[in-house]
Amino acid sequence: MGSLEPFRSPQARAQFIEMYDAVMRNWPAAFEESDVATAFGSTHVVVTGADSAPPLVLLPGAAATASMWGPIIAPLSAAYRCYCIDTITDANKSIATKRVRGATDYVDWLRQTLTGLGVENATVAGLSYGGWLAALLGVHAPELVNRLVLMSPAATFARISTQWIVRMVSATIVPSVLAERSLLWAASRPDAASDPVIAVAVARFLSCRATRPLPQPAKLTDGELGRICAPTTVLLGDREVIYAGGPAAALARAERLIPSVTARLLPNAGHILTLDAPEVVVEEMMATH
């Protein structure tokens, strides 16, 4: 796999996957695992919920895996057939064989993954990096999306703040000291350090090479946001730290430009909304538009 391999060594990968599996053994919903062949490599997907239920595609944040949906997966899998995808450019059970170079490649990869799963059209939801990926699908592959739920989407509505970049880059360079501190800064829940979502993300920082190519999220243009035709829910915490200019300005831009949008600024919530506001996230996921 050469430079596409995110882990520092085979041993680091094995240890990370062991932790990933340990978290999944305590997941609050029965699931199966699938590996979908694409031109970019093998995409790992955790699938849960009834075969006959409407499909829900869940895209995780950077440094997270499909396991991050654990805090909200029980009610979601009772209503949806959930497809929790491991992003192929990140450290998880997906294995990249071809470099993803940007938005066009990401859309192509997701299109191939959904085709392999037999999903023709779905509700697509994502958090942070996954929120940006979900927005890209809404812009460039609208036929695949019947509804969007964007939670703290990275960039998308605003430039990423300098403080965010400095903290996350520092966590990559010196993960033993700064990884957990940076992630807890992004969350607002006082006990977040004890949650498996944070633990897996910290382990990812510790397991990965410091420098490797990864497409960076970008602020979408006015025209791109205006092309999102699916009913869209945007959820941001009022303590969000990723956007230059703050969350209120980012939310206002989403409200102004996306044609069919429901936007909420969640009180006392930071970036990791599945931890900071799980009840509200589930409520919005269940809502019909």
| Least confident among 13-17, 172-176, 219-223, 227-231 | 172-176
pLDDT digits (tens, 9 = 90+) for 34-54: 999 999 999 999 999 999 999
Report the pLDDT value the prediction gives residue 209, as an integer from 0 to 100.
Answer: 83
Residue range 2-286, CATH number: 3.40.50.1820
What is the bridge-based pairing of β-strands 41-48 and 81-85?
A: antiparallel
Mean pLDDT of 190-198: 82
Q: What is the CA 9 to chain-centroid distance, rounded?
A: 25
pLDDT at 212 (0 to 100)? 62
**How high is the pLDDT of residue 289?**
43
pLDDT tens digit sequence for 223-257: 999 999 999 999 999 999 999 999 999 999 999 99
Q: What is the mean pLDDT of residues 136-154?
A: 98
Q: What is the pLDDT of residue 155?
A: 97
Query: What are 260-263's contacts with CB under 8 Å, separation 24+?
Result: 260/229, 260/230, 260/231, 260/232, 260/289, 261/231, 261/232, 261/233, 261/234, 262/231, 262/232, 262/233, 262/234, 262/287, 262/289, 263/233, 263/234, 263/235, 263/236
pLDDT for position 288: 62
User: CA 64 → CA 7, 259, 262, 280, distances in Å?
Assistant: 14, 30, 26, 21
Question: What is the structure's pLDDT at 213?
Answer: 65
Residue type (1 letter), 193 = A
**Euclidean distance between CA atoms 245 and 99, whole angstroms:** 32
Q: What percent of the chain is modeled with pLDDT above 70?
A: 98
Average pLDDT in the chain? 93
Euclidean distance between the first and final Cα of the chain, in Å? 43
pLDDT for 246: 97
Global pTM reads 0.95
Query: What's the CA gap between 207 and 123, in Å, rounded?
Result: 32
Lowest mean pLDDT among 66-75, 118-127, 149-158, 185-194: 185-194
- Give residue 1's pLDDT: 44
Length, in residues, of the chain: 289
One-letter amino acid at 234 equals V
